Amino acid sequence: MDSSLTRRGQICWYQKPGIGLDAINDALLLEACIYRLLRFYCREQPYYLNLLELFLQSSYQTEIGQTLDLITAPQGHVDLDRYTEKRYKSIVKYKTAFYSFYLPVAAAMYMAGIDGEKEHANAMKILLEMGEFFQIQDDYLDLFGDPSVTGKVGTDIQDNKCSWLVVQCLLRATPQQRQILEDNYGQKDPDKVAQVKALYEALDLPAVFFKYEEDSYSRLQTLIEQYSAPLPQAIFLELANKIYKRKK
């Protein structure tokens, strides 16, 4: 969808010889396999319905997030007024946080017999914050990370993405700096991409990110102390520590 060339250190599936748009059908086949596997292994279990609903809801939430991402940043049309913190948080919540962080923990909770609404709501408070933390790291690494480590060549600037960096830039930019963004954002020309990166550096966005990372990790620790029960705090702390200060 975003014309990326690599993903997780490998060539994107649609870029493989003979694949192209067949990748869409391949993705649908993989999604269908989720429900075949759940039926095969879990049909007789008391948590089967909860797992079905969880995976269906996760797919729905993620598709909403992907749609928000795409309509906020249509190819060939840059509208900086769309890049607000509120919209960014909505994209992150639906596109990343739900399926990446809440889904696996919630599935384990259901399978362990923890199906109360309060327990799941509490876990969600922690895990959605963790998902936002993760996506902001992703946005930072897209530009400032090492592709040999991240496994992906970043294209958020070229793709006109509503990323954390452009949102933070707009919050701090002077009218003259905003004009630089207007003239250069969302374009493939390497010189224009370099001008956007230079603007981010002039606004000291790497330092802003590092402060955010510390503050968010502190918030996560507080949320874990308040809402982790009946699950052990160690489960959430281990997840947080896996992504804290990550480089890929």
Q: Token digits for 75?
A: 């190819």
Give the pLDDT of residue 152: 80
Q: What is the pLDDT of residues 169-213, one digit of tens each?
A: 999 999 999 999 999 999 999 999 999 999 999 999 999 999 999
| Domain spans of the chain, in order of start | 43-243
Per-residue model confidence as pLDDT tens digits over 48-74: 999 999 999 999 999 999 999 989 987
Q: Which CATH architecture has domain 43-243?
A: Orthogonal Bundle (1.10)
Average pLDDT taken over every residue of the chain: 94
C-alpha–C-alpha distance, residues 172 and 170, integer Å: 5
What digits encode the pLDDT tens for the residues 82-132? 999 999 999 999 999 999 999 999 999 999 999 999 999 999 999 999 999
Any idea which residue has 């995976």 for tokens?
55
Distance CA 221, CA 201 (A): 30
